[in-house]
Structure 1
Amino acid sequence: MSALPPDLSAAIVASGYFPEFVEATLIPAIGDEEVVDSLVHHEATFDTNELRRHITVLVLTPTRFIVAHTDDGDQPGSHQALTTVESVSLRQIRSVALTQVAANPERFGRGRHGTTETWLVVNWGAVRRVEVEPATCGDPSCEADHGWTAQDLSDDLTVRMSAAADGPAAVGGLVRFASVVQRAAV
């Protein structure tokens, strides 16, 4: 493959975040496979006195789920961008969860009332984390030791979009992409 599909390339260029570099890292990962669907999410965060940017590009092929993350580097005195591209066989995907949030659900679908936030969580077993915290009984005045609670979590990828930050079209795009991945990863 010498170039990305026009819609994927246009979305990467629209993000404005080193598009030539991002495309150059994706092309060899996709190879000669067909791009079934894709999603681009650009996220900017403020870290103390600086702006930090991050782009996630998700690509679905007939056999793989490709995840590319590009971030600003943190090398002192040098401006860098780093990309990691991970390729996951669709057979390895354990779960695909889509969470949708609706403000004013009683008016959902009427006027400007629709999905306001959405999360896509894809798990293929590469990352596991355990969150441990003190257990409580719910009584705010209780001073007894109730031990500990723990959660064993596996969430290799989480992408969150909101209508307020990313726009309603981006939220709809994440819902559409997640639905395609859910059907492909059975």
Structure 2
Amino acid sequence: MSVDTSPRQRMIADIQNASFYPELVLDTIDEALAGLEPTTHMVQVETHFDQNEVHRHITALVLAGEFLLVAHLDDQNLDEQGQQVVAHVSTETLHVSKISTFTVSYAYPQPQSYTPGAPVSEVSMLLCWTGSQRLDLQPAECPDPSCDADHGMTGLAPREDILVRISAGADGVQQTQQARTFARALRAAHLQAGSR
């Protein structure tokens, strides 16, 4: 991606490169931005394993001027063959001045050899604004192994905002650098909004 591409073009390319329902993610973000233009962004796809199943989800943080958009999408198989799939999408948009806590943590390998500008191996961002509750849903299980009835959904709705962890080992050096760049831009926007 060349340096002179727009922030929107870079966001689109990163979401497409993530290869996790890119058109759905892009449509969701465009709708949530409601005409605002992105200034910087960060995209993370995570994979985790639950017994015999593989689960993936994508989180996109988009800074658009003084507004932060948090978009999250995960999918769920409704049958064992994976033929019936549903995607759960949530978005939240807030003014950066509403962020009450913004914590950025970095991990540096071999700190005894640190030189200014050395790359980080991990970036963690915790953002709190006492926003909406996150829903963590899954199909309700029945203790009867021969039961094939639909028992609905069960899950948790913890009151938390967002914690994102990007590591060079799992996500790549470029993603870690992008997370650091995003954190700097968000911190600057947050400090500027707070000084008014």
Corresponding residue number in structure 2 for 1:11 = 14
Corresponding residue number in structure 2 for 1:173 = 178
> Which deviates further from its counterpart, 154-163 or 114-123?
154-163
Question: If you compute each CA radius of gyration, which structure gives the higher value, 1 or 2?
Answer: 1
5 Å-filtered alignment, 1:140-179, equals 156-179=161-184
Q: Secondary structure of the equivalent of 1:118?
A: strand
Q: CA RMSD in A?
A: 2.2
1:37 aligns with 2:40: yes
Q: Secondary structure of the equivalent of 1:20?
A: helix
Query: Does the 8 Å contact 1:121/1:155 carry over to 2?
Result: no
Partner Cα distance (1:60, 1:173) in 2 = 13
Partner Cα distance (1:123, 1:74) in 2 = 31
Corresponding residue number in structure 1 for 2:103 = 97
Q: Secondary structure of the equivalent of 1:165?
A: helix
Shift of 1:126: 2.5
5 Å-filtered alignment, 1:6-155, equals 6-76=9-79, 78-109=84-115, 114-126=119-131
Shift of 1:114: 3.5
Percent of matched pairs sharing the same residue: 28
Query: Does the 8 Å contact 2:122/2:165 carry over to 1?
Result: yes
Query: Does the 8 Å contact 2:8/2:37 carry over to 1?
Result: no
Superposed CA offset, 1:21-76 (max 9, x none): 11111111112212111111111111111110010011111131100000012534
Superposed CA offset, 1:104-132 (max 9, x none): 1011249xx6311110111112279xxxx
Shift of 1:155: 5.1
Structure 2: any 5+ residue segments left out of the alignment? 1-6, 134-158, 192-196
Corresponding residue number in structure 2 for 1:184 = 189
Corresponding residue number in structure 2 for 1:147 = none
Partner Cα distance (1:82, 1:92) in 2 = 25
Partner Cα distance (2:74, 2:55) in 1 = 8
Query: Does the 8 Å contact 2:121/2:173 carry over to 1?
Result: yes
TM-score by length of 1: 0.77
Superposed CA offset, 1:129-165 (max 9, x none): xxxxxxxxxxxxxxxxxxxxxxxxx851111011110
Q: How many residues align?
A: 157
Q: Which amino acid aligns with 1:11?
A: D
Query: Does the 8 Å contact 1:54/1:71 carry over to 2?
Result: yes
TM-score by length of 2: 0.74
Structure 1: any 5+ residue segments left out of the alignment? 129-153
